[in-house]
Amino acid sequence: MGTSWQRRFYRGPRQRTRGVDLGGRAFLHDYDWQKDAGFSTLELIMTAPMVVANWINMQYYGSMVDTLRFGSGNKVLHNVVGGSIGVLEGNGGDLRVGFAMQSLHDGNRWIHEPVRLNVLIEAPQAEMESVISRHVLVRELVDNGWLYLFQIDDDGSVYRRVCDKQWQRMT
């Protein structure tokens, strides 16, 4: 399923990941597409938790690649603005919306890496394509490379969705 530095979003039978060290970098959910009549759960997975996982991942990504612009500085100096809109560092300046330095660095080293979210779903490609075609936000995330979408066959074969609705088998 990739190297240990990747952040994963996995939806499929739990036995597929049992015993695998995912390094604490995975959003896991037990999902059996064969019990998903009409694929409404697949649609829910791809339009809600997948999108939220990408938001979280991209907030870490932005906070890491440009801590001054997309991070939120030192949390000791934070003043919350508007309940949850963002924070100001100190008593003025620009609204800060990313993660605080203390969430990114432990004082000695960076504790996050800026990586794209790898979404692995065990479900038929045609049904995943159907969800993508009906939801603009999901289509934009996948087609524009904001996340990497993988499909897992029942035999464990993995395919990555690439341009023009094509699926490329991974080795």
Instruction: Tell me whether residue 40 is in a domain.
Output: yes
107 three-class SS: coil
* Mean pLDDT, the chain, integer: 86
pLDDT tens column, 124-140: 999 999 999 999 999 99
Report how many domains make up the chain: 1
Location of structure tokens 């065990």:
122
For the chain, what percentages of helix, strand and coil (3-state, to nearest 5) are there?
A: 35, 25, 40
pLDDT computed for residue 7 by the predictor:
65
Instruction: Tell me whether residue 107 is in a domain.
Output: no
pLDDT tens column, 155-166: 889 999 998 889
Instruction: Tell me whether residue 137 is in a domain.
Output: yes
For residue 1, pLDDT beyond 70: no
Instruction: Tell me whether residue 163 is in a domain.
Output: yes
Instruction: Tell me whether residue 142 is in a domain.
Output: yes
* Residue 55 CB neighbours (<10 A): 10
Instruction: Tell me whether residue 145 is in a domain.
Output: yes
Instruction: Tell me whether residue 155 is in a domain.
Output: yes
- The one-letter amino acid code at 132 reads I
Q: How would residue 143 be classed by pLDDT, with cut points 50, 70 and 90?
A: very high
Going by the DSSP 8-state scheme, the letter that residue 160 receives in this structure is: E
Q: How would residue 115 be classed by pLDDT, with cut points 50, 70 and 90?
A: confident
pLDDT tens column, 58-104: 988 999 899 888 888 888 788 888 877 778 877 777 787 888 888 88
pTM of the model: 0.80
Instruction: State how far the Cα of 31 lies from the Cα of 142, in Å rounded to an integer.
Output: 21
Q: What range defines the domain where residue 122 resides?
A: 7-66+113-169
The pLDDT > 90 percentage for the chain reads 40
Q: How would residue 3 be classed by pLDDT, with cut points 50, 70 and 90?
A: very low
Instruction: Tell me whether residue 42 is in a domain.
Output: yes
